[in-house]
Structure 1
Amino acid sequence: MSYKQLIEGQRYQIEAYLREGFSYREIGKRLKVSHSTISREIRRNGIRDNHYLPEVAQSKAVKRRCLATKYSVPEPTITFVEFGLNEKWSPEQIAGVAKLIGYKVSHEWIYGYVQRDKLCGGKLFKQLRQSHRRYRKGNRAKRVIIPNRVGIEHRPAIVNSKQRFGDWEADTVLGKQGTGAIVSLVERKSKLYLIRKVQAKSAADVARAMIGMLWKYRRHVRTITADNGSEFCHHERVAEKLKTDIYFANPYSSWERGLNENFNGLLRQYIRKGTDLRTVTDKQISDVERALNARPRKCLGFKQPAVVFEALRKAA
């Protein structure tokens, strides 16, 4: 079994299994990782005498990852990126200028660098013009614990290419406070976009909507990638009903579900931010969905998502 990096939830499971006296090999079997991964984790991230605390281990792992990522890009490039951020340039602007002067860095990497800097206690995120959107939960928000969460790092690599039919992204779009939400789903290859209004942004309502939206396409649902909102806490019910696997993006990493974020932006052309969703009918929602799926997309050779989806569906 190959080496895999552990996620925070697994570190809490390791502590529980150690308390019960399980061997490294048995813990590895239960977490579906190599026993050498468990041994290495406790050796590198434990404290004295192999004593293991998950919160300490997570902190050590994050700090090590921050340092490793920082030095994977040349120091002059990092200096330029930080200069641009301090000048309040957007990551896209920084990446664009960097390319002109010979520095190789993408705006996605810059967003990731800012996120990792924040996790390490840095303040670069405050320089982003959209910091309130990309980091809206802040440090004071109550952390949502999603039961049996499986991180995006465990998602099949083929999903990243967007070449396989049946991989979806999920999100919610809020209306005016207390007036409900819109559940949105997009298929990564065809760009088909599905939306449905729910009365509340509750886990039960969102799970019910997701199942209803995808039921007739259930043969073509291989994976779903969601964010870490509490509305996705009933993901196991969705996975069971649709016979699929659900993965969760990293916190503050909206680019990992970039397609869904893009479509939600298009949705705002029809349903403005702060709209009282009680005034929006189901027919209006259907009309918007139909309009977006009939819009030619450059990435599809200017074909329509609805047409591409049906062709892929028939060929599957």
Structure 2
Amino acid sequence: MDNPNCNTEHKKIQHVTAEERHEIEVRFNKDQWSIYRIAKQLCRPFNTIKNEIERGLVLLYHGKVLRYNAKRAEQVYLEHRSHCCKQYKRLATSPFIHYVEEHFKDGWSLDACVGRAGMEGLFPRSQMVCTKTLYNYVDAGLLGIKNIDLPYKLSRKTKSARVRQNKRILGDSISDRPEEAETRQAFGHWEIDTVRGLKKETEPAILTLVERKSRYSIWLKIMSATAASVQEGMRQILTHFGDKAQKVFKTITGDNGSEFAELFRLAGEGIGIYFTHPYSSWEKGTNERHNGLLRRFIPKGKSISGYGTEDILFIGDWANNLPRRILGYKTPEELFEKELDQIYAL
């Protein structure tokens, strides 16, 4: 055999060594061996040797003869290796990174920082990185932000589905809701829910409403999570908009919780009232998502009685002034005010 020391297994994930390059030079130039024979001698895949020879080819004798040069191949190899490591733009994007870290302290998401900066043209594109890269920087420890600082990254859990019996149905199904509410093309379609603190009958709650098109949220502290308190809270909100309330609130969608048992009474005032399918609160996911923003300030199990009306208004203003990717990095406040201007101009 030509190569008695070779076995049938090829070397894997090993770069060609300097010794092997010198042997390739001798076998290819002097002995005129084929690429296949050299690969078999070195126990290397055919393509590995073929690519190696192509990297080290030089023209000799006034460009008439091609020869493999081990030194040339080594130079090309080292040049390629110098560019193969992962490149970070961290130093070149320091002003943008500082902008991200400052707004992250205000509760902005990393994506909101990227989108808003791009929309306002605050930095040249070459001095910015995308959202995915920012999260990679967090993982690599290149930002002053850690994974534990991200509200949802460490808390996401999967839940197994289960079927429940004795389902409560309070009124018209969400399946009967106008199509314009589903597509979010029209203004005035809301989702409603309550956020509780301690599980006590006398414990205050927060009534939350979110407009589906603009994602504008209204948060109001009420006496308790009961049907009477919810009705009283809705009366306060509707009174605030006066005779334009029916144009601002075209439909309201809630779940089948007992606190919404009296909500159907608003239908007599020209407001469409709809309910999700039993045990399917995900069907009003916009509101559930905004409840998550509220929970950043009021964790589960913490009494709401310690928060005043001004505290709730402050949290609401913060949420309504967060740039959102789904809104083209505009804020819910900006879109809501634009819709109100059109309504009051009529």
SS in 2 for 1:292: helix
Aligned positions of 1:67-106 closer than 5 A: none
User: Is the counterpart of residue 237 in structure 1 residue 233 in structure 2?
Assistant: no
SS in 2 for 1:194: strand
Report the Cα offset of residue 252 of structure 1.
2.1
Task: Tell me, in whole angstroms, the C-alpha distance in 2 between the residues paired with 1:216 and 1:154.
Answer: 28
Residue of structure 1 aligned with 2:232, choices 205, 208, 215: 208
Question: If you compute each CA radius of gyration, which structure gives the higher value, 1 or 2?
Answer: 2
Report the Cα offset of residue 313 of structure 1.
1.5
Report the Cα offset of residue 251 of structure 1.
1.4
SS in 2 for 1:189: coil
Task: Tell me, in whole angstroms, the C-alpha distance in 2 between the residues paired with 1:157 and 1:187.
Answer: 15
Counterpart residue number, 1:222: 250
Residue of structure 1 aligned with 2:219, choices 181, 195, 199: 195
Aligned positions of 1:68-217 closer than 5 A: 129-131=158-160, 139=164, 143-144=167-168, 146=170, 149-178=171-200, 179-217=203-241
Q: Which residue identity does 1:192 align to in structure 2?
A: Y
Aligned positions of 1:274-285 closer than 5 A: 274-285=301-312
Task: Tell me, in whole angstroms, the C-alpha distance in 1 between the residues paired with 2:285 and 2:167.
Answer: 23
Q: Is the 8 A contact 1:211 1:238 kept in 2?
A: no
Counterpart residue number, 1:246: 273
SS in 2 for 1:160: helix
Report the Cα offset of residue 302 of structure 1.
0.9
Task: Tell me, in whole angstroms, the C-alpha distance in 2 between the residues paired with 1:315 and 1:227.
Answer: 30
Q: Is the 8 A contact 2:168 2:278 kept in 1?
A: no
Give the direction of change, closer, same or farther, for the CA distance of 1:205–1:215 in structure 2 (3 Å limit).
same
Report the Cα offset of residue 139 of structure 1.
4.2
Task: Tell me, in whole angstroms, the C-alpha distance in 2 between the residues paired with 1:211 and 1:237.
Answer: 11
Q: Deviations over 1:235-277 (max 9, x none)?
A: 1333334x20100011122221010010001110111111111
SS in 2 for 1:246: strand
SS in 1 for 2:311: helix
Q: Is the 8 A contact 1:169 1:225 kept in 2?
A: yes
Q: Which residue identity does 1:225 align to in structure 2?
A: T
Report the Cα offset of residue 143 of structure 1.
5.0
Counterpart residue number, 2:317: 290
User: Is the counterpart of residue 304 in structure 1 residue 331 in structure 2?
Assistant: yes
Q: Deviations over 1:85-121 (max 9, x none)?
A: xxxxxxxxxxxxxxxxxxxxxxxxxxxxxxxxxxxxx
SS in 2 for 1:163: coil
Q: Is the 8 A contact 1:182 1:196 kept in 2?
A: yes
SS in 2 for 1:256: helix
Residue of structure 2 aligned with 1:258, choices 285, 295, 298: 285
In structure 2, list runs of 5 or more residues that go unmatched. Answer: 1-156
TM-score (norm 2): 0.49
Q: Which residue identity does 1:212 align to in structure 2?
A: Q
In structure 1, list runs of 5 or more residues that go unmatched. Answer: 1-127
- Identity across matched positions, percent: 38
SS in 1 for 2:299: coil
**RMSD across aligned C-alpha pairs, in angstroms?**
2.0
Q: Deviations over 1:186-240 (max 9, x none)?
A: 0111111011111211101011112212333413111111101011111133333
Task: Tell me, in whole angstroms, the C-alpha distance in 2 between the residues paired with 1:163 and 1:201.
Answer: 31
